[in-house]
Chain A
Amino acid sequence: MSATQNVDYQKKELPKKFQTVGTVLFVIGLIGVIAAYLTDGSRSAFNNIIMLMFLTSIGLGSLFLVSVEFVAGAVWSTPFRRIPEFLSSILLVLPIVVVPLLFKLGDIFHWMHPEVVEADKILTGKAPYLNVDFFIIRVIVFILLWIIFYYFITKNSKKQDTTFDQSLTKRNIKLSAAFIPVFGITISFTAFDWLMSLEPHWFSTIFGVYYFSGSILAAFAAVTLIVVWLNENGYLVKGLTKDHYYSLGAFMFAFTNFWAYIAFSQFLLIWYANLPEETFWFLQRWEGSWIYFSIGLIFVRFVIPYVGLISQPSKMDPKRLIIMSVWLLFAHWYDLYWLAMPNYSKEGVLFSWIELTFPLMAVGIVILLLVQLSKKNNLVPIGDPKLKRGIDFRL
């Protein structure tokens, strides 16, 4: 059991500048967020939702990638599985990100006011699901479930670094198999709760899938960005090749298409059926300056990454992969902004320093988490029995 694998990995400390950059971003973001809440509470709350959904996307999506690797028995991603594991630690900070929102629920959610619900037949019908108590229970239970799965899956994985115990992989396969259905249900209802219920009269059954497609894309983009950077600078195990890069790039490309497919399906059905109770959601995003933002979404989220990643060399070139993954992370934020903000500002796109502070803080949080985790842990799962095969992976 204690067969030490013959892999060329020397743990290296990340440069100090990361800690500094992360702290600076986080502090600036935090000060900005506090100032934003003091100047415009409900607008900040909408931005806070975007930040919450963005962090959930990457954290939960990364944990999903880890569990898919275990369940599918994939080997190609094993050498850098630690990166999605680190990223899923974002789940631990979600409770803190949610807290300010809990004080602003009334400003965000139209359906939280009993007198509004009473006067509205549709909202009365939805009240068994859309009510404050059940909403808070869902939020707490979902985050708790995610953290439990995060804790056990990563604990087993870390333990393997020292014990080289192969049965830990088996235990993680079982945990992952249990996590995937939980993930599927919770991510859908999270999307319904935080994004779709901003407009409680509107409904789209594909909305959960829509958020899922964007989330996995964002998780892949974050993983690609970090893996490519770390590997180019020699922090990961020796022997990662263009084939690994290509697979990451191909996944980003595939999920770009998947997102476009889902987003277009949602649009096409609503456009075709032309039912007033469904079309108004899109019409709202077609008014004022939102029309440019909506058309921009097609290019930002689909056309540019599609063209940028379509060719084989582009999926193998580290520079282009880094550019495209940063772009895709930006595109995910853009998409979430498009989903949430029109409910706050019906007249047109809003942009000022308030919109900037939240992304700064989110990036700061992620960098600080990565730096902290990389101090204590190996960046490569050196005890994983699939590691050698993962390094030898060729297309």
Chain B
Amino acid sequence: MSEKILYSYTGIFDTPDEIIHAAEKASEYGFKNYDVHTPYPLHGMNKAMKLPPSKLGYVALVVGLSGALAALLLMFWMSAVDYPIVIGGKPFFSFPAYVPVMFEVTVLSASIATVLTMLFIFFKLPNNAHPLNDTLYMKKVSSDKYGISIQAEDNKFNEADVRRFLEDCDAKEITAVYYDKEEINYKHKILEPKFIGFLLFTALLTSGVTYFTLNKLLYMPPFDWMMEQNKLNPQATSTVFDDGFGMRKPVEGTIARGFTPYSFSGQPEAAEVNLVNPLPVSKSVLELGQQKYDTFCSPCHGYYGEGDSRLRGQFPNPPSLHSEKIRTWKDGRIFHVITDGQNIMPSYSSQLTVNEIWAIVHYTRVLQRALNAKESDLQ
């Protein structure tokens, strides 16, 4: 223990009224460097201590205005200078749209700045070496007592006078608080080995844990959620087959599920003779046919099969479906053309199912009948 220096004289009171009167007396007496400690904020204490109004409001004002300005500049830069995009037909710099964001940024920056300024600049936290820490006085005033602490650095401070002053105020316990000069002046040095070691340890720990989590743990079952499986993904190289292709052709003589093989490929005449439309002519079939026709056939053949492509000449127009030749074709032949393709028309067997093609055939008949009605239809 080195030399002890007097920090302050403290007095303890039992009720809020007493402490307010004590604070009033202290400010009247002319003390400047004194403080009052209570377990909770007391109304009227500012007035009793004759404290000037807090300057904290100005921090909020300045930071809030800067926040508003920063938000305005940010949005101006982003949406009018750096990357202008028309949004909703509004001008690039449209102030009303910025106002909500400016408002939010103002509130956010002002409140955060106020709290941080209050804690670290006004309250001077963290202050581990304050002389009042770890005193009986501080223990009492932070639970159920009210205390005043008059500091030795005050101009009017005089041990005997202050003791008498506190006695006059009817303070319950009067104690002097001393501090250790070395302890109070002790500063944690930045380059202390302990501190460097702690920093290194923390850095290593956090980066190690992060590396392990992101690069190792996520690839271990069950944390990988079946991301890695013993199968070949499309386009991947195979180690099993000699040619190295992961994607294989189907085994000869097999067909894929739900796939019906077409046996008349390249034989239109045989298809015309052998294939019969299995679907009945019903409303639902015709509606299906119309829907599929409008989707897949109409871009070239036109909605009414007249060969009036709506591709605006970017593609050769197909012949009309109302020609004598096609009207006299049997259903099987039209089925064949759709399934196998003809001339420049590709096969549609991968887009349409067998039933859908047959439904289109029925719908084609409807279109043909509509343009070339028989006498009997008109009666």
Interface residues of chain A, those whose CB is within 8 Å of chain B, are 264, 267-268, 271-272, 274, 310-313, 394-395
Q: Determine if A311 and B57 form an interchain contact, defined as CB atoms under 8 angstroms apart.
A: yes
Total A-B residue pairs with C-beta atoms closer than 8 Å? 21
With the chains together, A54 CA to B88 CA distance in Å?
A: 38
With the chains together, A395 CA to B89 CA distance in Å?
A: 50
With the chains together, A268 CA to B90 CA distance in Å?
A: 13
B99: CB under 8 A from chain A? yes
On chain B, the number of residues with a Cβ less than 8 Å from chain A's Cβ atoms is 12
Contacts of A264 in B (CB 8 A): 99
Instruction: Choose from A267, A272, A313 the contact partner of B53 (Cβ within 8 Å).
Output: A313
With the chains together, A395 CA to B90 CA distance in Å?
A: 47
With the chains together, A71 CA to B140 CA distance in Å?
A: 41
With the chains together, A313 CA to B58 CA distance in Å?
A: 13
7 cross-chain pairs, A with B, having the tightest CB-CB distances, nearest first: A271-B96, A394-B43, A268-B96, A312-B53, A394-B44, A264-B99, A274-B88
Contacts of B88 in A (CB 8 A): 272, 274
Q: Determine if B53 and A268 form an interchain contact, defined as CB atoms under 8 angstroms apart.
A: no
Contacts of A310 in B (CB 8 A): 61
A264-B99, A312-B57 known, 17 other contacts, Cβ within 8 Å: A267-B96, A268-B97, A268-B99, A268-B100, A271-B96, A272-B96, A272-B97, A274-B88, A274-B89, A274-B90, A310-B61, A311-B57, A312-B53, A313-B53, A394-B43, A394-B44, A395-B43
Encode B30-43 as 1/0 by CB contact (under 8 A) with A.
00000000000001
Encode B93-119 as 1/0 by CB contact (under 8 A) with A.
000110110000000000000000000
Identify the closest chain B residue to A271 (Cβ). B96
Identify the closest chain A residue to B54 (Cβ). A312
With the chains together, A313 CA to B52 CA distance in Å?
A: 12
Smallest Cβ distance from B272 to chain A, in angstroms?
59
Smallest Cβ distance from A204 to chain B, in angstroms?
16
Smallest Cβ distance from A260 to chain B, in angstroms?
10
Encode B127-148 as 1/0 by CB contact (under 8 A) with A.
0000000000000000000000
Contacts of A271 in B (CB 8 A): 96
Contacts of A272 in B (CB 8 A): 88, 96-97
With the chains together, A395 CA to B47 CA distance in Å?
A: 12
Contacts of B96 in A (CB 8 A): 267-268, 271-272
Smallest Cβ distance from A269 to chain B, in angstroms?
10
List, sorted by A's number, 5 A–B pairs whose CB atoms are closer than 8 Å.
A268-B97, A271-B96, A272-B97, A274-B88, A395-B43
Smallest Cβ distance from B95 to chain A, in angstroms?
10
With the chains together, A310 CA to B61 CA distance in Å?
A: 10
With the chains together, A2 CA to B44 CA distance in Å?
A: 33
Smallest Cβ distance from B100 to chain A, in angstroms?
7
With the chains together, A394 CA to B20 CA distance in Å?
A: 15
Identify the closest chain A residue to B53 (Cβ). A312
Smallest Cβ distance from B53 to chain A, in angstroms?
6
Smallest Cβ distance from B51 to chain A, in angstroms?
13
With the chains together, A394 CA to B61 CA distance in Å?
A: 25
With the chains together, A313 CA to B97 CA distance in Å?
A: 34
With the chains together, A313 CA to B90 CA distance in Å?
A: 43
Identify the closest chain A residue to B44 (Cβ). A394
Smallest Cβ distance from A347 to chain B, in angstroms?
26
Smallest Cβ distance from A279 to chain B, in angstroms?
12
Identify the closest chain B residue to A313 (Cβ). B53
With the chains together, A264 CA to B90 CA distance in Å?
A: 18
Identify the closest chain B residue to A395 (Cβ). B43
Contacts of A313 in B (CB 8 A): 53
Contacts of A274 in B (CB 8 A): 88-90
Contacts of A268 in B (CB 8 A): 96-97, 99-100
Identify the closest chain B residue to A267 (Cβ). B96
Identify the closest chain A residue to B46 (Cβ). A395
With the chains together, A264 CA to B97 CA distance in Å?
A: 11
Smallest Cβ distance from B64 to chain A, in angstroms?
11
Contacts of B61 in A (CB 8 A): 310
Identify the closest chain A residue to B97 (Cβ). A272
With the chains together, A311 CA to B88 CA distance in Å?
A: 40
With the chains together, A311 CA to B61 CA distance in Å?
A: 10
With the chains together, A271 CA to B94 CA distance in Å?
A: 10
Which B residues between 62 and 105 are near A, CB-CB below 8 angstroms? 88-90, 96-97, 99-100
With the chains together, A272 CA to B99 CA distance in Å?
A: 12
Smallest Cβ distance from B55 to chain A, in angstroms?
11
With the chains together, A274 CA to B96 CA distance in Å?
A: 13
With the chains together, A178 CA to B90 CA distance in Å?
A: 46
With the chains together, A58 CA to B88 CA distance in Å?
A: 41
With the chains together, A265 CA to B89 CA distance in Å?
A: 20
Smallest Cβ distance from A271 to chain B, in angstroms?
5
Smallest Cβ distance from B20 to chain A, in angstroms?
12
Smallest Cβ distance from B168 to chain A, in angstroms?
27
With the chains together, A310 CA to B60 CA distance in Å?
A: 12
